[in-house]
Structure 1
Amino acid sequence: MEKNIRLIKTGYGIVIQDVHKVTHHSVSNMDLPLLSLIFASILVVIRGQVSLSLSVRFVIYEEVPNDTLVGNIANESRIRTRANMTTEEFETLRYEFLDQSSMENLFTVKERTGNLLTSGRLDREKVCPFKELCLLEFDVLVHSSLNVIIVSVEIEVMDKNDHFPIFPSKVVTTSMIESFNNGSTLTLSEATDLDSTSINNIQSYEIIPNNGTFYLNASRKQNGGFDLKLVLRQSLDREIKDFYVFHIIAKDGGNPSNMGSVEVNINVLDSNDNYPVFNQEFYTSNVKEGSVVGTTVVQVTATDKDIGENGQISYRFSSRQTDPNVDQLFSINSTSGVLSVKGNLVYEPNKSYKIYVDAMDQGEQPQVTQTTILVTVLDAGNNKPNVRVNFLAQTNAEIINNISVVYVLESSPQNSVIAHVTVDDTDSGQNGLIGCNLSDNSFSIKQLTSGKGYILSIKTQLNREQIPSHNITVTCFDHGTPQLSSSVFFKVIVTDTNDNAPTFLKHTYFASIEEGNVIGFIVDQVSAEDIDIGRNAKIMYYLDKDSGGKFAINSNTGVITANTVFDRESALRHLFTVLAVDSGNPPMTGTATVILTVKDKNDNAPEFDVPSFQFFITENLPGDVSVGTLNAKDLDEGDNKKISFSISPEYESTMPFVIYSDGLVKTARELDREVHNKYKFNIVATDHWYTCTQ
């Protein structure tokens, strides 16, 4: 019959007690660096006869606190009734795990009461990955001097919704050509959820916003996952909008539901869907008879909203001209659109040349637009009008390199007058009647009802960031035959107002830092730009209050430094907002998000899961028989948590057991219970830096 043996832990000493004697093994006080050395012992007992076998079943939710009562083995198995015990016999029963297993990391059996308690983190996804039903099974030895009973325990672990859906990446960037038809699709990767039961796994997806250019088609697959397709709902137009951003949300079926998201960025690629557009529907120009070859007659200008080769424009004469002499008298520069004199021009009364010019882009299937130039050859004896432009005082005009330059604030309202135009013509009759036009459609010229010249005003809202300057030609012409004209050129510089907020170069900055850092360690550097100029573009950087005082930022450089010492085991990630504020009046602000990941450092020692290990083995078995497995944990991650086991050096030559690095314990030779019925020795758990002895 087996002896009744107990292990009692007292301070740094371990007492082994049986019915015949008590032996004290004391461990001297040692310098324990970081309190990382923990002592335990292994007790090997030779089994006796089993008189009765029973079974019980319990149900418990995962993630409950340590020492949560699972149930009472004695009550649930009705051991007293089934074994026909007296009260005195029942009270002498003792309860312990029959076999050393991983269950001892999760549960504790109270020796005297038979209460089964949780002793470690009960993670259903770890002990029963991807199983709808999670059953943990083990045996408990119930024994006294008269009874040896084995109770088979079955514990059903119920799932909790303790995991969030996670997409393969936080941001997905892709592209679509603007010519794609409605209903075109892009395939997205689905999210994953580590919860085991189907109800706590992903149940649905949605797109935010859900009323935009795209919608989400999420269909179930046979394996329970989803096919995610992004479907084009509305036609794309790159010239109106060339970039889309939205979020895909994955929701599980828990109560409350957990959610995960991914940001989707779509760049719209150009197709050649726009024609070149001339800045004037009709061009008129006058040129003196006898002008030398190369004299500029007029310049035509066209623009194309497409980009790349689709937006590059060349000019040519149309193949169909009403006047067969156009090619001999004029030429057009294919790049600049300048029409110049090629042949000898002769004045003819009531004679004008109507010239058709094509603007063609360079796309694979070129788009072509046509305009008309009406050129009148003037008699060299006519007088031109004399044109003068007088800028208003508030426009702050000056002369630079013999060119008049006027400065106009981009926030100036429409119809604001910037100049007065005076035209003098000494001719009389039709030769003295004057009309004027402008070369830039952003401005207009109107004749005063008093007949005292013209006013030049702003026609459309100015935008310095799009067009910082305008080259304006005022052309005034008489109504004589031939018609004569004069032009005045000046330049409008659009001055800045603070109408743009700073923009960070990234929406989100990802940074990392090793735990245990020094204060002042550089975490990252953010940078923003402002398309305004001057003080309106001078940027200062600040941290939002969500940084919690854990960081500091250089307001001039955007360098972010640590203001505290980080501990990965306390918090793996930190998210906060940075602000970029310009110096305009009033100032404008842009924001970005910083996500800091704390990297692991080997600053935690291994810890055994239990204060002592106890194994049972039958006598007279050959050597190399498995006795059990040791278990320990380390709060670090990666290689820092890899643990190796070994027998304490002072026991290596005396113990008939072998300890493998993975914690497996085997016999080194055949054991004889009558010679030695139990063995006790110390073991060591070591990670890459710290050591734990037990």
Structure 2
Amino acid sequence: MAAPSSLWCLGSYLILLALNLVMCDRVSKLHVPHLTPPDSVIITISSLAGKPSLVNQQELSGIFDLSDTEFKSKGDLSGFLGGTFDIIIKSDVHTSEQHHLLVKVDNSSKLFSFSHHQYFASVLENSARHTKLDVIGDLFVNCDTDVSLRFVFGTGDKFYVKRHKNGAKQGVEIYTNGPLDREKKDSYSLLLQAKSLKGKIAQTVIHVYIQDENDEIPEFNQTKYTTNIPAGLSVGSSVLKVHAIDKDIGTISYHLEGTTDFSINPISGDIILSSSSYSVSDYKFRVVATDQGGLKSSANIQINILPRKFKVYSSSSFVKTISQSIREKF
């Protein structure tokens, strides 16, 4: 009769041991959404007595924090979508009792938002209507249901938007409503808004830069340049300076047509006497400005050569000479 009693005692001990293990190794499950800073998930640890400690602290220290009563994610769990963390917490450093917390990062409950807070896009000026903008990065909304899209600021009716479904995402494409003139406006900042069927709203900023097309000819600040120089002027003397502007991006170069007695600095536009055998007469020729795209414009040049008996005065010296003549005469 002793054997059955011993077996009963052994069985009771094993049952109590199993119950104790179950009580000491409790398991909880928690699903949290995809979070981005500064958002986070906070779990209050109320079932543990004393100050809890994280057993696998080293393994999870870069992802989670544990305070006296709270277990908190550090925010960005985007790299762990669909992953599960087995977090082991002790109720006290001096006890063997452990609490398992299974945290699963839920891929299906991501925040309703654009993939980025801002984007950069470009389009060539004068592009035809319905030209698609080149956007850096993937432009989409985190939503697996239909969304409505509209610009709420900054377009001036220059752009419109389309969407296309791509799995759990809503892809976004931006198009022009007509040709754009970079010389009038070279960039736009657009505020794009997405609205879900449940009324949730997400916004992002699109920075659009208009790429230059060489469509503007250089323009001189005068259609005709006229100056007087004395006969006998030394070779290399600067006699006139011309200037042209180009509304397109790039530089301008100059050259002369119709003369060999004068030359021009192709960058500065300074016209220089290059011959000592010029005649006493008037010179008429053309200056041509060419931009980097090959577009050209021209202006007329007239240089009057004064005989040697004439003296060219500056305005101040001329007044001084006249004043002296008047005093000598009267």
Q: Is the 8 A contact 2:160 2:177 kept in 1?
A: no
Following TM superposition, where does structure 1 have runs of at least 4 consecutive aligned residues deviating by more than 6 angstroms?
A: none
2:187 paired residue number = 243
Indicate yes or no: 2:112 matched with 1:165: yes
**C-alpha separation in 1, matches of 2:131 and 2:153:** 19
**C-alpha separation in 2, matches of 1:211 and 1:174:** 13
**C-alpha separation in 1, matches of 2:290 and 2:187:** 27
Q: 1:183 aligns with which of 127, 130, 133?
A: 130
Q: 2:151 aligns with which of 207, 221, 227?
A: 207
**C-alpha separation in 2, matches of 1:271 and 1:425:** 55
Q: 1:372 aligns with which of 289, 300, 304?
A: 300
More helix by share: 2
The structure-2 alpha-carbon separation of the partners of 1:266 and 1:217, relative to structure 1 and needing over 3 Å to count, comes to: closer
Q: Is the 8 A contact 1:164 1:259 kept in 2?
A: no
Give 2:194's aligned amino acid.
A
1:273 paired residue number = 215
Q: 2:287 aligns with which of 345, 357, 365?
A: 357
**C-alpha separation in 1, matches of 2:194 and 2:256:** 59
The Cα shift of 1:385 comes to 4.2
**C-alpha separation in 1, matches of 2:112 and 2:146:** 7
Indicate yes or no: 2:251 matched with 1:312: yes
The Cα shift of 1:240 comes to 2.6
2:45 paired residue number = none
Q: 1:335 aligns with which of 245, 253, 267?
A: 267
Give 1:192's aligned amino acid.
N
The Cα shift of 1:280 comes to 1.9
Indicate yes or no: 2:160 matched with 1:216: yes
**C-alpha separation in 1, matches of 2:321 and 2:246:** 39
SS at match of 2:141: coil
Q: Is the 8 A contact 1:167 1:192 kept in 2?
A: yes
SS at match of 1:34: coil
**C-alpha separation in 2, matches of 1:253 and 1:355:** 72
* TM-score, normalised relative to structure 1: 0.30
Identity %: 26
Q: Is the 8 A contact 1:208 1:249 kept in 2?
A: yes
**C-alpha separation in 2, matches of 1:346 and 1:339:** 17
The structure-2 alpha-carbon separation of the partners of 1:205 and 1:340, relative to structure 1 and needing over 3 Å to count, comes to: same
Give 1:239's aligned amino acid.
E
**C-alpha separation in 2, matches of 1:183 and 1:252:** 26
Q: How many residues align?
A: 233
**C-alpha separation in 2, matches of 1:283 and 1:225:** 64
The structure-2 alpha-carbon separation of the partners of 1:355 and 1:425, relative to structure 1 and needing over 3 Å to count, comes to: farther
**C-alpha separation in 1, matches of 2:314 and 2:159:** 63
Question: Once the two structures are superposed, what CA deviation does each residue of 1:246-266 show, in whole Å capped at 9, x if it has no partner?
Answer: 122111111xx2111221112
The Cα shift of 1:228 comes to 2.1
1:286 paired residue number = 228
Q: 1:345 aligns with which of 250, 262, 278?
A: 278
The structure-2 alpha-carbon separation of the partners of 1:192 and 1:210, relative to structure 1 and needing over 3 Å to count, comes to: same
**C-alpha separation in 1, matches of 2:213 and 2:288:** 21
Question: Once the two structures are superposed, what CA deviation does each residue of 1:352-373 show, in whole Å capped at 9, x if it has no partner?
Answer: 211111011122xx11110111
Q: Is the 8 A contact 2:253 2:266 kept in 1?
A: yes
Question: What does residue range 293-308 of structure 1 map to in structure 2 within 5 Å?
Answer: 293-307=235-249
**C-alpha separation in 1, matches of 2:190 and 2:225:** 46
SS at match of 1:317: strand
Q: Is the 8 A contact 2:262 2:274 kept in 1?
A: yes
Indicate yes or no: 2:196 matched with 1:252: yes
Q: Is the 8 A contact 2:142 2:170 kept in 1?
A: no
Q: Is the 8 A contact 2:229 2:312 kept in 1?
A: no
The Cα shift of 1:219 comes to 4.0
1:192 paired residue number = 142
Give 2:51's aligned amino acid.
L
Q: Is the 8 A contact 1:386 1:424 kept in 2?
A: no
The Cα shift of 1:169 comes to 1.4
Give 2:309's aligned amino acid.
G
**C-alpha separation in 1, matches of 2:181 and 2:271:** 34
Structure 2: where are the runs of 5+ without partners? 1-14, 17-22, 25-48, 55-100, 324-330
Give 1:231's aligned amino acid.
Y
SS at match of 2:189: strand
The structure-2 alpha-carbon separation of the partners of 1:219 and 1:382, relative to structure 1 and needing over 3 Å to count, comes to: same
**C-alpha separation in 2, matches of 1:235 and 1:315:** 31
The Cα shift of 1:425 comes to 6.8
**C-alpha separation in 2, matches of 1:222 and 1:282:** 62
Q: Is the 8 A contact 1:202 1:250 kept in 2?
A: no
Q: Is the 8 A contact 1:246 1:265 kept in 2?
A: yes
Q: Is the 8 A contact 2:230 2:312 kept in 1?
A: no
Indicate yes or no: 2:51 matched with 1:34: yes
**C-alpha separation in 2, matches of 1:213 and 1:271:** 22
Question: Once the two structures are superposed, what CA deviation does each residue of 1:202-246 show, in whole Å capped at 9, x if it has no partner?
Answer: 421111227525433324548685442211124222233222111
SS at match of 1:185: coil
The Cα shift of 1:346 comes to 2.9
The structure-2 alpha-carbon separation of the partners of 1:276 and 1:301, relative to structure 1 and needing over 3 Å to count, comes to: same
The structure-2 alpha-carbon separation of the partners of 1:217 and 1:35, relative to structure 1 and needing over 3 Å to count, comes to: closer
Q: Is the 8 A contact 1:290 1:346 kept in 2?
A: no
The Cα shift of 1:164 comes to 4.1
The Cα shift of 1:336 comes to 2.1
SS at match of 2:130: coil
Question: What does residue range 269-668 of structure 1 map to in structure 2 within 5 Å?
Answer: 269-307=211-249, 311-318=250-257, 321=258, 326-327=259-260, 329-343=261-275, 344-347=277-280, 351-363=281-293, 366-388=294-316, 426=322
**C-alpha separation in 1, matches of 2:118 and 2:174:** 15
**C-alpha separation in 2, matches of 1:341 and 1:271:** 37
CA RMSD of aligned residues (A): 3.8
**C-alpha separation in 2, matches of 1:294 and 1:213:** 56
Q: Is the 8 A contact 2:254 2:290 kept in 1?
A: yes
